[in-house]
Amino acid sequence: MTATYAYLQKQSAQAHTETGETGLHAPHLPWEHHSPFKTFDHAAIRRGYQVYKEVCAACHSMDRIAFRNLIGVSHTSDEAKSQAEEFEYQDGPNDEGEMFQRPGKPADYFPRPYANDEAARAANGGSLPPDLSLMVKARHGGEDYVFALLTGYEDPPAGVEIRDGLNYNPYFPGGSISMARTLFDGVVEYEDGTPATTIQMAKDVTTFLAWAAEPEHDDRKRLGLKAVIILSALTALSVWLKRFKWAALKNRKFRFIPPTK
């Protein structure tokens, strides 16, 4: 995958002049989970969660994912519990009618970095960091786009002016994006010892986001395999049946009898 990436990156450098309103087309990468017989790379989901938690979560919310969703996917239930306990949630009211803070439970959704959209805009120069729960499904190119965006930061080419506070990224529609490059080699220290290069982190966090957008993915494919096996047996059966139904039609003979005067 790294080799493909390096090759495509070289190619895209030549295509920069074509970056228009729609952004540079994200190169297609061979994601492992795109194969019909593969599940997600769950080790990558676990690493990607770490990247999200330590890097992305500073600005981006993930409202639709709860800590309990991690159980059996990337974390054990004890681990998910301790992940949730790292955050404080408001709960209540208690017996005195007061709201109180308590440590998170697995049933809690990921905490939001900002109290509301206005606070998020105020802290980010007017731009709203979008919620990442469905991000992979909500952009053209899906995983490829997210990966290309995270790794595509570079200096603007000659002739391209970028406003203060914005950054140049050829994959972003329009070319200037509020989000600065966040993934630098070694920004995260992986617990499984994987070297945290920019590409590795981008791949892991994209896999994590792909899982978040389609948590049913593994079950879907597993069920699909069963369905295809059963349905192809049934199809064979119905083709066999069809031969009987059509026999009368296929075996008849037409004869033209000219009208007699």
Partner 1 sequence: MRSFKSQPILSLCLIIQIITGVTLAMHYTSHVDLAFIRLYYGSYRKPRILLWSIGGFSVDNATLNRFFTALIVLHLISLHQHGSNNPVGITSNLDRIPFAPYYIFKDLIAIFLFYAPNYLGHPDNYVPANPLVTPPSIVPEWYFLPFYAILRSIPDKLLGVVAMFGAIVILLLLPILDTSRIRSKAFSPLNKFFFWIFVSNHAEEPFIFIGQICTLFYFAYFLILIPIIGYTFS
Numbered residues of the known binding site: 56, 59-60, 179
Query: What Cα–Cα distance (Å) separates residue 90 from each residue in 100, 179, 246, 249?
Result: 6, 29, 69, 73
Contact 102, 88 (CB under 8 A): yes
Nearest CA to 146 out of 156, 154, 155, 138 is that of 138
Spell out, one character per residue from 159 to 198, where the chain touches partner 1: x when CB under 8 A holds, - when not: ----------------------------------------
Beta strands in the chain (DSSP E): 88-91, 100-103, 167-168, 176-177
Distance between CA atoms of residues 74 and 67, nearest Å: 10
Annotate 200-223 with b (16+ C-beta within 10 A) or e (fewer). Answer: bbbbbbbbbbbbbbbbeebeebee
DSSP-derived secondary structure letter, 178: S
Q: Which amino acid is at 11?
A: Q
Among the listed ranges 75-83, 92-100, 132-140, 188-196, the one in contact with partner 1 (CB under 8 A) is: 132-140
By CB under 8 A, is residue 122 in contact with partner 1?
Answer: no
- Under rule CB under 8 A, which residues in 206-225 are in contact with partner 1? 213, 220-221, 223-225
- The interaxial angle of helices 198-213 and 42-54, nearest 10 deg, is 100
Nearest-10 Cα torsion for 126, 129, 130, 133 = -160
Nearer to partner 1, 186 or 224 (CB): 224
Contacts of 88 (CB under 8 A, 6+ apart): 101, 102, 103, 104
Among 28, 38, 102, 137, binds partner 1 (CB under 8 A): 137
Nearest-approach distance from CB 202 to partner 1, in angstroms? 20
Nearest-approach distance from CB 68 to partner 1, in angstroms? 22
By CB under 8 A, is residue 231 in contact with partner 1?
Answer: yes
Among 28, 38, 102, 245, binds partner 1 (CB under 8 A): 245
Among 139, 150, 177, 204, binds partner 1 (CB under 8 A): 139
Nearest-approach distance from CB 242 to partner 1, in angstroms? 5
By CB under 8 A, is residue 241 in contact with partner 1?
Answer: yes
Nearer to partner 1, 106 or 172 (CB): 172
Positions touching partner 1 (CB under 8 A) are 36, 131, 134, 137-140, 142, 213, 220-221, 223-225, 227-228, 231, 234-235, 238-239, 241-242, 245-246, 249
